[in-house]
Amino acid sequence: MSVAPRTDGVLVDRYGRVARDLRVSLTDKCNLRCTYCMPAEGLPWLAGPELLSDEEIVRLVRVAVERLGVTEVRFTGGEPLIRPGLVGIVAAVAALDPRPRISLTTNGIGLDRLAPALRTAGLDRVNVSLDTLDPGRFTQLTRRPRLDAVLAGLAGAAAAGLSPVKINSVLMRGVNEDEAPALLRFAVEHDYQLRIIEQMPLDAQHGWDRSTMVTADEILTSLRTRFDLSPDPAERGAAPAETWLVDGGPARVGVIASVTRPFCGDCDRTRLTADGQVRACLFATDESDLRAALRGGADDDDLAGRWRTAMWGKRAGHGIDDPTFLQPTRPMSAIGG
Ligand code: SAM
Ligand code: SF4
């Protein structure tokens, strides 16, 4: 094994993993306040000049695609739909050569209005976060009465031809832990693909508790009370979701067991925060400041080299179960979920 990062080519780390999937946070702000993500009062948001401009984002994505072998670009946040320049950013990234696949993770509010323009700009796929179908629970969970807007966003995404439309759900004990079968029924009926994610220690309030987390095993047990789940013959690759065929298929459901069955050994991700920091992992405790380099006049080769060095230092795993585990100082909404 070599002991130093390569000076050219792809984003490889010392364990041989190659990062081809780039997550870009477009903003740390959000129009919801999901209890597992941020406090009711919000967070101290990044100031305007700290955020990368649209041009800076496109330049860094171009470096990743042209020089570092990135083939997938996912925009996230915070809530990416509230970034004014989103459609233009998607269009500019879709014009890159080679063209990466482009996706979006969103809470869906406003997606009904924006989906056609995003599709035309080159967006390929979308993941909409939805944890409950009950309006009261939705308001309790997100602290905003916006369930109808999210449902409209899902329908608008499908109508605009974004495919597949995936739903991301997080189950919380005592809140919506009984809702897995209802969410799957809804997804199957609308031809959306459901993925249920174990809650991770990434909330700004540090309220996560391993002992009360709803585990993948519990999620599967709950789904099996209503559905027959059989292993999906499709290759999993670096995908975080373990998938099952629902009642023989073709519908599928995914469970992302980030905590109880970590998939760090197959991780192919690299992350760029809204203020231009490269992170090798959601749980990384260090960042590499590409914004400072970029604003200091670094050329594309220099930026690519810094990115490679940052990824070379990626740790083997997130270590949530280690006694020495430290939750990252930035919450998920600031890193980009
Ligand atoms: N606002 C967008 C949304 O909600 O989809 C994008 C950002 S959000 C941080 C990305 C995803 O992270 C969402 O699906 C959300 O449910 C999930 N998420 C947030 N906090 C989480 C946590 N502590 N554990 C697991 N997933 C979490
Ligand atoms: Fe906003 Fe997404 Fe966090 Fe919910 S999970 S508060 S929608 S960033």
Query: Residue 124: which CATH number?
Result: 3.20.20.70
4 in any annotated domain: no
What is the Å distance from ligand 1's center to 106 Cα?
9
Q: What is the predicted pLDDT for the residue at 138?
A: 98
Q: What is the predicted pLDDT for the residue at 276?
A: 97
Q: What is the predicted pLDDT for the residue at 208?
A: 84
Pocket test residue of 141, 256, 332, 335 for ligand 1, highest count of atoms within 8 A of CB: 332
One-letter amino acid of 17: R
Q: Which atom of ligand 1 is nearest to the CA of 203?
A: 23
69 in any annotated domain: yes
One-letter amino acid of 156: G
What is the Å distance from ligand 1's center to 330 Cα?
14
Ligand closest in space to the Cα of 138: 2
Q: Which residue stretches of the chain have pLDDT < 50? A: 1
| CA dihedral of 59, 61, 62, 66, whole degrees rounded to 10 | 150
Distance (Å, rounded) from C-alpha 38 to C-alpha 263? 25
Q: What is the predicted pLDDT for the residue at 3?
A: 65
Q: Is 30 annotated as a binding residue?
A: yes
- Split into its structural domains, the chain has a count of 1
Q: What is the predicted pLDDT for the residue at 166?
A: 98
What is the Å distance from ligand 2's center to 333 Cα?
7
Q: Concatenate the DSSP letters of all residues of 145-181 into one string.
A: --HHHHHHHHHHHHHTT-SSEEEEEE--TTTTTT-HH
15 in any annotated domain: no
| CA dihedral of 309, 311, 312, 317, whole degrees rounded to 10 | 150
Q: What is the predicted pLDDT for the residue at 207?
A: 78
How many residues are present in the chain? Answer: 337
Give the closest residue to 34 by CA, choosing from 111, 114, 130: 130
Q: What residue's CA is closest to ligand 1, atom 2?
A: 106
Contact status, residue 107 vs residue 79, Cβ threshold 8 Å: yes
What is the Å distance from ligand 1's center to 29 Cα?
13
The predicted-structure confidence for 46-70, as pLDDT tens digits, reads as follows 999 999 999 999 999 999 999 999 9
1 in any annotated domain: no
Q: Is 225 annotated as a binding residue?
A: no
Ligand closest in space to the Cα of 106: 1
Q: What is the predicted pLDDT for the residue at 231?
A: 92
Give the closest residue to 200 by CA, choosing from 81, 27, 319, 33: 319
Q: What is the predicted pLDDT for the residue at 329?
A: 75
Q: Is 36 annotated as a binding residue?
A: yes
Q: What is the predicted pLDDT for the residue at 183?
A: 98
Q: Which atom of ligand 1 is nearest to the CA of 36?
A: 23
37 lines ligand 2 (CB under 6 A): yes
12 in any annotated domain: no
Q: What is the predicted pLDDT for the residue at 336?
A: 75
Domain extent, residue 164, equals 21-335
Q: What is the predicted pLDDT for the residue at 45?
A: 93
305 in any annotated domain: yes
What is the Å distance from ligand 1's center to 322 Cα?
23
38 lines ligand 2 (CB under 6 A): yes
Q: Which atom of ligand 1 is nearest to the CA of 333?
A: 9
126 in any annotated domain: yes
| CA dihedral of 107, 281, 238, 309, whole degrees rounded to 10 | 130
288 in any annotated domain: yes
Ligand 1 binding pocket, CB closer than 6 Å = 30, 36-37, 76-77, 79, 105-107, 129, 168, 170, 197, 199-200, 202-203, 332-333, 337
What is the Å distance from ligand 2's center to 257 Cα?
19
Q: What is the predicted pLDDT for the residue at 250?
A: 94
Rounded to two decimals, what is the model's pTM? 0.95
What is the Å distance from ligand 2's center to 67 Cα?
32
